[in-house]
Structure 1
Amino acid sequence: MARYQGLGVDIKVLLEKLKSSMEKQGYKIERVLTGETSFLIEYKKGGMLAAKETLSVKGVPDDFIVSGVREDNQEAWFIIEDAILASAKNPQAFKSYTEQIPAPPTPPQPAALAMPPQTAPPPPAPKPAQPLPTNCSRCGAPITVTQEDLIFTCRYCGFTMTVASREELKAHSMLENRLLSQQAVDAARKYMDKGIFRVGVSKDAQITDVKLRYVPFWVCQATTNTFLKGVTGTGAMGEIHQAQEAVSDKRSSGLAKFGKLILAGAKAYAETQQKDKSPRHVSYSFSNTYIWPTLARRTMISEINYYDVPAARKTPFDVGKVPQDAEFLNIELNEEEAKAKIRTEIEAKERLIASGKVDTLETCSVNVTLGEAELVHAPVWFVHYTLKGENYVIAVDGCEGKVLGGGRPLFSIG
């Protein structure tokens, strides 16, 4: 049942509209009874066996009731209310039967017992920052750890631990120092004189300090698979990129770099001699395997251009093999940070190699798989010297005697 008020509906007009709409929708009108302010319709929809239903409307234009229709018969209600709206003089007052269905009564709730007001529990106090260790977890010796140190090695017993968790770091190796300080100076002096525009630098240089430091590196094995698409046959850009890769490759020796430059030059010359060249779209894939080191410090050591860790000379870390007068540097990069840095460096190298295989590199996808990283402490001699009022430093590998890089004048003749 639904009640409609304020609509101004002519009951007789509503009857005619209802009969017409119901017949259009397939309803069969069985009987109609009318009064002055009411009517009743018997109807059915379906075959011979369909049940009859009734629809009753009773009231006045501004207040009448529709009854006899099941609430779940949405089709019938749609027809009825559509006819009501079509007959109304004031359709703005319309309120659908669905808005008139009363909500089920709410069962009475038992009166709540008066409870004393409760205050919210105070938030848990933040855990105090764990103090930096002052003694070695293994031998108890006094140690000095700074806020920058992520991994610390005890100079007394060699115990290496992560500062945050106090857990031992087991993958820790070292390289033994095999140079005396004078041998490091001799290697540095030879480096000073390298280059056709440097004459007599080592004679004029004044050695001011020689210091051995054990420098930490993270070393990680990596395999790469690189896929590229590009265009060849448009010039010598590929060979130029090959030359660029040869010059920038810090892992290669001087002889290897020279060989790459000669090869790139020969290819570039052959490219310029070709006739009837036409651009070709090509696809390549190649793989590489690296043992890639990266400095385990946030502050770079500019004198170390690149350090190729000699894997054959690695030994388990033994603090007894570190000279007492050597400076020992702790770790400021954890393993995950080091791996992210290594991945970025390898991807850049692979893209440079890829650009050397085509004249125009269109797409390049590099997949890098990294193994477990190992911490290695390596001996590096830092040779400080002055020349004509300028200060320079040269870094020398204490394990194999190679110069790792450093400062020297651009030119010095006599």
Structure 2
Amino acid sequence: MVIIEVFKCEHCGAPLDVTPEDIIIVCPYCGYPNAYDRVFTEKNVFFVESLPKKEILRRFHERVQKDPDYRGIRGKIKVVKVEGYYVPLWLGIVGGRGNMRYIIYEKEGNNTKAVVKFKKFEMESLVCVPARRNVYDLAVEELALKFERYGYLSFKRIEDTLKYIMDVRPIGSLTPEKWESLELAFLNADFGKQYAKMALSDRASDVAKERRVPEDVELKFFKFEGDVKEIALVFYPLWKVYYDVEGGTYFVAYDGHYGKEVLAVEPVRLWRKIHYALVSLIGIAIAGFSLAIYGNFTYWEALVHAGKGGSVLFILPAIGTYFGFELARGYGKKVARDVRVER
């Protein structure tokens, strides 16, 4: 005889669909967060309390009044939805060693030579990955990047690191009554500790490359091997205010604990498009002028008599052409966009 254990909601008794990696299961019938896999007895599972909805709305309206992008359309802005939830984030202290090989180009008289450089380094840092692998959310990714900026402040214990950057509280301290009083829903975490360690290790390698590889070099080889020393799961509040204006829907995402903006997707006003178009035209002018130099007979005559400085004189128009083209291309794309992402 096979006995199938049915996991039921602690609040309403409804059956819950549970997988071995689930940590918090939100009841689809009553919305109550249920603990699974001993989450309330784990030492390194935390939550951070959120500001109330009315405070987030107040900050949004304050933004509308102060931001020049909303000038002339403030009366047309209509809030259509305010959405808040606790985002599960895995944070870990990862330490390890790496090495790289890259090429730099050095001037030697009139010639340029390629020099191969080798470099070894050690790094210990705080890294963060969203605990929802099946759902991509730009605001959540930006929230995770925000915490990684404190990476150099990692203490020996991850709890001490977290307490330095946020007001964490052990999830085990929550009573059922406290769960019900929380204004935001808890999103399910898609994966547990083992997968989290692999994800944090991969992310640590990316962070090491971003921080350790010198700028303007040609990277040939990079390797970082890190050990995840300690990890924690943090349920962090995130709010989104959705609003309609001039036929489009946009949103501003807020750090639910501090009330600071995480990300804003807003309309591109006509004056901004004009600004982008003017900069794009300037780029075209720079590229055209620089390219035209190569067709000037006087330029080539000056190049012949330039001597050692001839190589620099030859390269400068090429640099100007490239810079002008990139300027025109980048701002030309912005002209065609109807939304702007502000971090």
Do Structure 1 and Structure 2 share a fold, with TM-score over 0.5? yes
CA distance in 2, matches of 1:191, 1:287: 42
CA distance in 1, matches of 2:239, 2:190: 20
Identify the residue that residue 266 of structure 2 maps to in structure 1: 408
- Over residues 254-300 of structure 1, what are the superposed CA-to-partner deviations in whole Å (9 max), with x where a residue is unaligned? xxxxxxxxxxxxxxxxx9xx976532221112333222222112312
Identify the residue that residue 96 of structure 1 maps to in structure 2: none
Q: Which amino acid letter does the alignment assign opposite residue 133 of structure 1?
A: F
Structure 2 residue 95 is matched with structure 1 residue 291: no
Q: How does 1:4-403 map to 2 (within 5 A)?
A: 130-136=4-10, 142=13, 145-147=16-18, 150-152=22-24, 160-162=35-37, 168-177=41-50, 179-188=51-60, 199-200=71-72, 203-233=75-105, 277-297=112-132, 298-307=134-143, 308-309=146-147, 311-312=163-164, 313-317=167-171, 318-319=173-174, 320=178, 323-357=181-215, 359-403=217-261
Q: CA 1:352–1:341 in 2, change beyond 3 Å: closer, same or farther?
A: same
CA distance in 1, matches of 2:39, 2:59: 40
CA distance in 2, matches of 1:381, 1:316: 22
CA distance in 2, matches of 1:180, 1:377: 16
Which gives a bigger RCO, structure 1 or 2 (Cα 8 Å, sep 6+)? 2
Secondary structure in structure 2 of the residue aligned to 1:333: coil
Q: How many corresponding residue pairs? A: 245
CA distance in 1, matches of 2:121, 2:66: 36
Q: CA 1:189–1:302 in 2, change beyond 3 Å: closer, same or farther?
A: farther
TM-score for both structures, normalised by structure 2? 0.59
- Note the aligned Cα RMSD (angstroms): 3.8
Secondary structure in structure 1 of the residue aligned to 2:142: coil
Secondary structure in structure 1 of the residue aligned to 2:233: strand
Shift, 1:166, TM fit: 9.1
Structure 1: runs of 5+ lacking an equivalent: 1-124, 235-270
TM-score for both structures, normalised by structure 1? 0.50
When Rg is computed on C-alpha atoms for both structures, the one with the higher figure is 1
Check conservation: 2:84, 2:240, Cα contact below 8 A. Answer: yes
Check conservation: 1:199, 1:413, Cα contact below 8 A. Answer: no
Greater CA deviation, 277-286 or 188-197?
188-197
- Over residues 24-68 of structure 1, what are the superposed CA-to-partner deviations in whole Å (9 max), with x where a residue is unaligned? xxxxxxxxxxxxxxxxxxxxxxxxxxxxxxxxxxxxxxxxxxxxx
Secondary structure in structure 1 of the residue aligned to 2:140: coil
Structure 2: runs of 5+ lacking an equivalent: 148-161, 273-343
CA distance in 1, matches of 2:66, 2:220: 40
Shift, 1:306, TM fit: 2.1
